[in-house]
A and B are shown apart, each in its own frame.
Chain A
Amino acid sequence: MALGSLLIFGIAGRAFSIEGVDIAAIFATALATQWALSAIFAVRFEAKSALITVLSLTLLLRANTAYPLMAAAFIAISSKFLLRANGKHIFNPANIGIVAVTLFSGAAWTTPGQWGTAIWLAAIIAGAGFFVTYRVSRLDTPLIFLGTFATLIVARALWLGDPLSIPMLRLQNGALILFAFFMISDPKTTPDGLAARALFAAATALLSYVFIYHFYRADGIFYALALACIARPLIERFDSARAYRWSDPPRLNPIKKPAAAPAE
C-alpha cells in the first residue's frame, strides 16, 4: 500500500501538466465511489484497486476542468460493481473510464506523446515492482501484449523499408508502457488461464495496431482493450475447453483465485 502511494505521487509528479487539484479530484471521486458502492453492495471496502485506477487516470488522462476526470473516475469504479459477467468485471476500470470520456464527450483527452524515455524506465521499474509485490503470476499479460505489438510494428517497418528506429521510437512511448504494466495487466479483467490470457493480450495488441495504423487513432490502445474486454467471455470459454485437454502438468489448476483477491 505504501508502495502504491509512493508510485502514485512519485510518477504523477513527473506527469505533463496535471494539476494537484485534478489529482485530488480523481482520487476523491474514485475512493468515494468505491466506498459508496461497497456499502451498497455490502462488500468490504478495498482501496487498493481504486488507487491503481487513480494512478492510471492521473497518468494518462487530461482535461480542461476536473469534471471530465471525475466522471472518468466515477465510471471506472462503478463499472466494477455494475458491469459484471460470471463474477468478474467486464471492463478494465481505468480503461473504460478513459474510453467513455474521450469517446463521448471530447472534454478529456489522452496524451500519448508526453512521456520521455526516463518515464519509460520508471514505468518499467514501477511495473516490475508492482508485479513483484502484488501478483507475479500476471506479468505475462504485459509482456505478451508488448511482444505482439512490437512484432507487428517491426514487421510493418521491415515491409515499408523503414529504419528500425521508427518502431523503436514507438515502443519507447511511455503511455504504451504504462498501459501495458498498469492497465491491461489487471488480474480482475484478464482471463485466468494462461492460454486465454495470451490470446487476450495478443488480440489487444493486434487491435491496437489496427486502430493506430489503419484508423490513425493515436490512443488506439484504449479502444482496443475495451473491445477485447467485451470479447473476453468468448475467449474464456475457448480457454476452459482447451485447458481441459491440453494443459501442462505444472498448471493443473489455472490459477482461479477467489474474489478474495485484493484487486477489487
Chain B
Amino acid sequence: MRAVEPWVEGPLAAFLDESAARLTLLMTSAGQVLAQHGFTRAFDVMSAAALGAGIMASTDELARLMDAPPFRALAHQGVQHGLFLSGFDTPQGRWIGLVVFGPESSLGLVQLFFQRLVADLAKQAPTEAPSNRVLGSDFEDELNASLRTLFGQ
C-alpha cells in the first residue's frame, strides 16, 4: 500500500483487511492518485485513475443534466472481478475511490466497509492547511538535465 499522506494509511489498511478488496485506488476528481493498494506498475495506477476519474466526471455531469444530486456510487460485475466506484467529500476536497474485488468478497461487503473508510478518512484528515514546501534550489538545474536526457537535446 502507498499513500501520499500518511494519515490515509490507517483507514485504508482497515478497509483492505475488512473488505478483502484486491485493488484499491483513492484519487482526486482530476485523476491524481492519492493512495493505492495492489497495483504493481505506477503507470497502471495512473491509467486506472484517469479512467476512474473520467467515469465519475461523466456520471456527475449526467446527474447535473437531470437536476439531480451527484450519483454516490456505481458498480460493475464482471465474470472474475467486480468494480466499485464512488465519489465522496473529505476535508481535503472531493475524492474518488475505485475498488476491484474478487469472489472472496462481494459488492455489499465493499460498500459497507467503504462507507466506514469514508467516515474514518473524515475523522483522520488534518484540519490545518497543507504546508507549502517548495522544491530544492537545484530543482531547475536537474530539470534541464532530465529534459535533455528524455528528449535527447
- The answer on A and B forming one complex is no
* Residue ranges of B at the interface with A (Cβ–Cβ < 8 Å): none
